[in-house]
């Protein structure tokens, strides 16, 4: 039985995609946007407001991609837009310091006490790349441990068993990276503390850092097992390994203090992105001053950026974090996300496994409990594609890949949540028997 569909007219998007492909590889500037795994062509977006996006054919959708996480306040939030406009009028970039950088840095530090000093960069990729360089310089060691299915941006040495688009497109280990780069990266199974213990028993004193998404969000959403993060903290301390929490997705998302705040673990270094840029390109890495003071110009570890700390992007980040100081927003997010997740679970008519931490959630199409990369990949991606298309045809815009998260924003109201659950029930009825 097929999924009941409504006819969407998306001819302008189709045409725009054809034209884009003539100029841009695959017609997109980031592979996950291409709709490859779910079929068809991507929707080209005209505008967005609150939790709704509108495509260039005039169709409107309730958006759970939220620009892949940054838009926790929803699209075009008036306070963020106002601050961006004010900043733009004063000039877009100076290549010289502004007070805005210090202001955003102190807002971040206030929320994440493990960060004593931080450096602004332009993306999460830059943040993780720089944090690893720093950890290696600080420890004078070379090995890096990451975890299967975690994605830390397109850093050469980290594109090994990487999640997100790399998994979606079937290239978790990218070509084009010299073996020398990846020889020093060890990828271990996520949520498996024994694997880390065993490796460290052999080579712990050679490991510079362990980097992980404390809540994995790039193989779908996979929460850490109880005690896993605590144990990682203990092992890293024992062997003098720098513990890096990649909180690009989870920072300011799953709690005001990110995963480290939620689980009460202090990493040595943290990487950030997404929400701290309020929808503009910002990344950051920070942590103990003792480590951060190895970064140039104080120390010898070189890292730089013409547009780093850009005043317009800083203003968007500041505006977003200012709003997030209202902690009642997190309570609301939690309540709505829980209702959505439970509603989606109730709507299921095929075997699914549902995960959620705060306003990050995921539906896996599998009968297995998903705890790591291997179990995440038991999900039936063809069924996900059908579900995705059914939802889209009912005005719900989910990530065009199984191996991503759905994000709820403060702009998603009760009616939006109910409409989403209702759409899911309809789509699931069509999937029954698969
Ligand atoms: N999962 C990715 C970021 N965490 C999606 C964004 C992208 O690759 O464009």
Number of domain units in the chain? 2
Q: What is the pLDDT of residues 377-395, one digit of tens each?
A: 999 999 999 999 999 999 9
pLDDT over threshold 50, residue 1 = no
pLDDT at 4: 47
pLDDT of residue 235: 98
Catalytic residue flag (residue 55): no
C-alpha to C-alpha distance for 244 and 204, rounded to whole angstroms: 16
| Closest protein CA for atom 5 of ligand 1 | 68
Bridge-partner residues for 423, per DSSP?
none
Q: What pLDDT score does 5 carry?
A: 56
CB 262 within 8 A of CB 223: no
What pLDDT is stored for residue 321 in this prediction?
A: 98
Same domain, 166 and 225: yes
Q: Answer whether 45's CB lies under 8 Å from 75's CB.
A: no
pLDDT of residue 133: 98
Select the more confidently predicted residue: 352 or 180: 352
d(CA 19, CA 40): 15
Atom 3 of ligand 1 has which residue's CA nearest to it? 68
Distance, CA 90 to ligand 1 centroid (Å)?
31
Q: How far is the CA of 106 from the centre of ligand 1 (A)?
A: 26
Closest ligand 1 atom to Cα of 403: 1
Q: Is 169 a domain residue?
A: yes
Residues in contact with ligand 1 by the CB-under-6-Å rule are: 30, 32, 68, 151, 164-165, 218, 249, 404
Q: What is the mean pLDDT of residues 25-38?
A: 94
Judge whether residue 213 has pLDDT over 60: yes
Mean pLDDT calculated for residue range 238-249: 98
Q: What is the pLDDT of residues 125-180, one digit of tens each?
A: 999 999 999 999 999 999 999 999 999 999 999 988 888 888 777 776 778 888 88
Residue nearest atom 1 in ligand 1 by C-alpha distance: 164
Distance 267 CA to ligand 1 centre (A): 23
Do 144 and 290 share a domain, yes or no? yes
Instruction: Answer whether residue 3 shows pLDDT above 90.
Output: no
For residue 6, the model assigns a pLDDT of 63
Centre of ligand 1 to C-alpha 1, Å, is 33
Check residue 7 and give its pLDDT. Answer: 73
pLDDT value of residue 153: 95
* Annotated catalytic residue 246: yes
Q: Are residues 18 and 167 in the same domain?
A: no
End position of a domain, from candidates 272, 300, 323? 323
Most ligand 1 atoms within 8 A of CB, residue of 42, 164, 217 to mutate = 164
300 and 233 assigned to the same domain: yes
The verdict on residue 129 lying in a domain is yes
Give residue 433's pLDDT.
Answer: 77
Any domain includes 160: yes
Q: To the nearest whole number, what is the mean pLDDT of the chain?
A: 96
Q: What pLDDT is recorded for position 434?
A: 75
Q: What's the Cα-to-Cα distance from 254 to each of 251, 275, 290, 408, rounded to whole Å?
A: 7, 11, 28, 11
In the predicted model, is pLDDT for residue 63 greater than 70?
yes
Report the percentage of the chain scoring pLDDT > 90.
91
| Domain residue limits at 141 | 78-323
Q: Are residues 9 and 57 in the same domain?
A: yes
Q: How confident is the model at residue 120 (pLDDT cuts 50, 70, 90)?
A: very high
């Amino acid at each position: 039985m097929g999924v009941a569909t409504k006819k969407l007219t998306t001819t302008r998007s189709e045409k725009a995609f054809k034209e884009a492909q003539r100029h841009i590889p695959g017609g997109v500037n980031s592979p996950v946007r291409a709709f490859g795994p779910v079929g068809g062509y991507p929707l080209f977006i005209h505008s967005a407001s609150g939790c709704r996006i509108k495509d260039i054919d005039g169709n409107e959708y309730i958006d759970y991609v939220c620009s892949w996480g940054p838009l926790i306040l929803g699209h075009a939030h008036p306070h963020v837009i106002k601050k961006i406009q004010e900043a733009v009028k004063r000039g877009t970039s100076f290549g010289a310091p502004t007070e805005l950088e210090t202001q955003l840095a102190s807002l971040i530090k206030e929320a994440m006490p493990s960060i004593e000093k931080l450096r602004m960069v332009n993306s999460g990729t830059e943040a993780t790349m720089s944090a690893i360089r720093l950890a290696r310089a600080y420890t004078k060691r070379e090995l890096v441990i990451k975890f299967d299915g975690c994605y830390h941006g397109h850093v050469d040495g980290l594109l090994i068993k990487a999640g997100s688009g790399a998994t979606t497109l079937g290239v978790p280990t990218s070509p084009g990276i010299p073996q020398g780069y990846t020889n020093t990266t060890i990828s271990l199974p996520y949520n498996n503390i024994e694997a880390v213990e065993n490796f460290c028993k052999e080579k712990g004193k050679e490991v510079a850092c362990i980097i992980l998404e404390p809540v994995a969000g790039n193989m779908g959403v996979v929460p850490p097992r109880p005690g896993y993060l605590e144990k990682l903290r203990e092992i890293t301390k024992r062997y003098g390994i720098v513990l890096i929490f990649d909180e690009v997705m989870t920072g300011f998302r799953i709690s005001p203090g990110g995963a480290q705040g939620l689980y009460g673990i202090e990493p040595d270094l943290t990487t950030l992105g997404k929400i701290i840029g309020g929808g503009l390109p910002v990344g950051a890495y920070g942590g103990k001053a003792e480590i951060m003071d190895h970064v140039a110009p104080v120390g010898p570890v070189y890292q730089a950026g013409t547009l780093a700390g850009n005043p317009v992007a800083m203003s968007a980040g500041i505006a977003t974090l200012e709003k997030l100081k209202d902690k009642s927003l997190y309570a609301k997010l939690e309540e709505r996300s829980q209702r959505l997740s439970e509603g989606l679970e109730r709507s299921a008519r095929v075997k699914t496994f549902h995960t959620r931490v705060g306003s990050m959630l995921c539906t896996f199409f599998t009968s297995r409990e998903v705890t790591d990369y291997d179990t995440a990949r038991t999900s039936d991606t063809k069924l996900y594609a059908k579900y995705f298309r059914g939802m889209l045809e009912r005005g719900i815009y989910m990530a065009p890949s199984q191996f991503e998260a759905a994000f709820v924003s403060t702009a998603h109201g009760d009616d939006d949540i109910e409409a989403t659950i209702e759409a899911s029930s309809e789509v699931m009825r069509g999937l029954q028997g698969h």
